[in-house]
């Protein structure tokens, strides 16, 4: 069950448009998003600036990758009626927050993020000795903090970036978490709850502040969580006001580790473009079938009569994702006794993969044929994202002292 507090959390995640999506993205990330969109207020975005940090020489493919990726999201069932879909660079407030955060972020924090050196080594052929690449995780922090996201679904490799985000938020709140007109703003926010709730809130606050009544504090928090008519900014103000005179401007997010099993590639390693072992999400069925028919199997099975061991076979990884228990038992038995051939064994996998892809491909074609629909979805998503981002930036500018009466 999801608690009220959890429902009020905002989920944010982004994906870099670095090429066509494959089944690894589907089983790893997108299926997770599909579930989250039912449970939370979700913002999913295309991290096109993040792509540029490493692909700055490939300017000709970015726009196309963005377009195809959004179609992929829609085709697998990401629902714009539930989740906001947008493009990072169309919400330039991310860049402004990134800049302001850069003022308070020690260089060492960025240099120590493990992905910094790792990626530089891995992508040796690219010159990643750039300012933008060092700032990659801080830009990610801005992406997250600008929406005050509570939960960030990411893979293991991104956890250090969420950790950095938390540290930066903490430092920011510590330096700036005191609005000059905090009390006035909080009092205005109290009024917005309506007479009855405002009265209850003020009484509970008094009980807590004068008598340290923890029960009153919990009740007041629950009351705030249940308010539908106040903005997130006001809600946080009221949380701060409940306990004192300061305010959390940028709440610390949490990583939500993607729980799904790793999708194996055709060679048994993790499916990844850099290993060349992928099956595209919308790849042509004949090509998909050929790739699966020719994928390697347990090397011990040289002849049809040689017994094999599924544990040593990449096909088994596919059965674990796609096959019923019954089919898996048939594989185990048939492989170890040489009762089935490898092509027999692959048949149910081929069928399952093709069956999974058919409706995705069909929906993708529909979206591709109706570009205005996709454009509208993105324009609306960008607008909705900007509304939130603008509001946060107003608070942030005020907090750091950039307010002008012009």
Residues engaged in binding ligand SF4 (CB under 6 A): 297-298, 301, 308, 310, 313, 315-316, 331, 335, 340, 342, 345-346
Instruction: For the CB of residue 340, give the shortest distance to ligand SF4 in the complex, in Å.
Output: 6
> What residues contact residue 367 under an 8 Å CB cut-off, 6+ apart?
71, 74, 75, 373, 374
DSSP letter for each residue of 152-177:
EEE-GGGHHHHHHHHHHHHHHHHHH-
- 250 versus 342: smaller Cβ distance to ligand SF4: 342
308 binds, among ligand SF4, ligand TRP, none (CB under 5 to 8 A by kind): ligand SF4
- 47 versus 360: smaller Cβ distance to ligand TRP: 47
Measured from the Cβ of residue 369, the count of other Cβ atoms closer than 10 Å reads 8
52 binds, among ligand TRP, ligand SF4, none (CB under 5 to 8 A by kind): none
Instruction: For the CB of residue 126, give the shortest distance to ligand TRP in the complex, in Å.
Output: 15
Instruction: For the CB of residue 291, give the shortest distance to ligand SF4 in the complex, in Å.
Output: 14
Structure token digits, residue 237? 């103000």
173 binds, among ligand TRP, ligand SF4, none (CB under 5 to 8 A by kind): none
Q: Shortest CA distance to 244 belongs to which of 183, 184, 172?
A: 183
- 14 versus 135: smaller Cβ distance to ligand TRP: 14
- Return residues touching ligand TRP (CB under 6 A): 12-16, 47, 50, 140, 143-144, 152, 154, 158
Rounded to an integer, what distance in angstroms lies between the CA atom of residue 265 and that of residue 279?
8
340 binds, among ligand SF4, ligand TRP, none (CB under 5 to 8 A by kind): ligand SF4
Instruction: For the CB of residue 314, give the shortest distance to ligand SF4 in the complex, in Å.
Output: 7
Q: Shortest CA distance to 289 belongs to which of 342, 231, 337, 354?
A: 354
- 161 versus 346: smaller Cβ distance to ligand SF4: 346
Classify 91 as helix, strand or coil. Answer: coil
- 36 versus 315: smaller Cβ distance to ligand SF4: 315
Q: Please provide the size of the chain in residues.
A: 406
98 and 138 Cβ atoms separated by less than 8 Å: yes
301 binds, among ligand TRP, ligand SF4, none (CB under 5 to 8 A by kind): ligand SF4
175 and 104 Cβ atoms separated by less than 8 Å: yes
> What residues contact residue 320 under an 8 Å CB cut-off, 6+ apart?
261, 328
- 310 versus 381: smaller Cβ distance to ligand SF4: 310
- Nearest residue to ligand TRP by CB is 14
State which H helix or E strand residue 385 sits in. helix 371-400
Q: Shortest CA distance to 47 belongs to which of 62, 26, 32, 30?
A: 62
- 62 versus 331: smaller Cβ distance to ligand SF4: 331
144 binds, among ligand SF4, ligand TRP, none (CB under 5 to 8 A by kind): ligand TRP
Instruction: For the CB of residue 206, give the shortest distance to ligand TRP in the complex, in Å.
Output: 40
Structure token digits, residue 215? 């029960």
């Amino acid at each position: 069950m999801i608690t009220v507090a959890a429902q009020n959390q905002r989920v944010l995640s982004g994906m870099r448009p670095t090429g066509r999506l494959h089944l690894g993205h589907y089983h790893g990330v997108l299926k997770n998003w599909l579930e989250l969109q039912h449970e939370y207020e979700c913002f999913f975005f295309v991290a096109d600036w993040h792509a540029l940090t490493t692909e700055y020489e490939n300017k000709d493919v970015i726009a196309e990758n963005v377009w195809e990726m959004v179609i992929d999201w829609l085709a697998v069932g990401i629902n714009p009626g539930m989740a906001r879909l947008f493009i990072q660079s169309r919400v330039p407030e991310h860049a402004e927050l990134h800049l302001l955060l850069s003022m308070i972020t020690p260089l060492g924090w960025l240099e120590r993020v493990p992905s910094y050196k790792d990626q530089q080594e891995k992508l040796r052929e690219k010159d990643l000795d750039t300012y933008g690449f060092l700032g990659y995780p801080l830009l990610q922090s801005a992406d997250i903090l600008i929406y005050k996201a509570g939960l960030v679904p990411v893979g293991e490799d991104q956890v250090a970036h969420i950790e950095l985000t938390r540290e930066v938020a903490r430092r920011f709140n510590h330096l700036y978490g005191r609005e000059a007109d905090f009390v006035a703003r909080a009092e205005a926010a109290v009024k917005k709850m309506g007479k009855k709730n405002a009265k209850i809130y003020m009484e509970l606050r008094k009980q807590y502040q004068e008598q340290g009544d923890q029960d009153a504090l919990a009740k007041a928090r629950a009351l705030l969580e249940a308010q539908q008519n106040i903005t997130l900014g006001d809600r946080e103000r009221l949380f701060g006001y409940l306990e004192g005179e300061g305010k959390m401007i940028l709440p610390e997010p949490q990583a939500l580790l993607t729980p799904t099993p790793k999708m194996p590639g055709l060679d048994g390693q993790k499916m990844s473009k850099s290993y060349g072992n992928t099956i595209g999400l919308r790849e042509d069925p004949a090509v998909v079938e050929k790739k699966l028919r020719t994928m390697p199997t347990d090397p011990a099975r040289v002849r049809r009569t040689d017994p094999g061991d599924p544990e040593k076979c990449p096909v088994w990884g596919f059965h674990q994702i796609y096959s019923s228990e019954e089919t898996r038992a048939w594989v185990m038995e048939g492989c170890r006794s040489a009762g089935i051939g490898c092509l027999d064994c692959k048949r149910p996998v081929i069928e399952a993969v093709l069956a999974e892809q058919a409706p995705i491909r069909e929906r993708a074609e529909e979206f591709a044929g109706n570009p205005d629909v996709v454009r509208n979805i993105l324009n609306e998503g960008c607008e909705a994202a900007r509304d939130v981002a603008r509001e946060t930036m107003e608070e942030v500018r005020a907090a750091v002292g950039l307010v002008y009466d012009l």
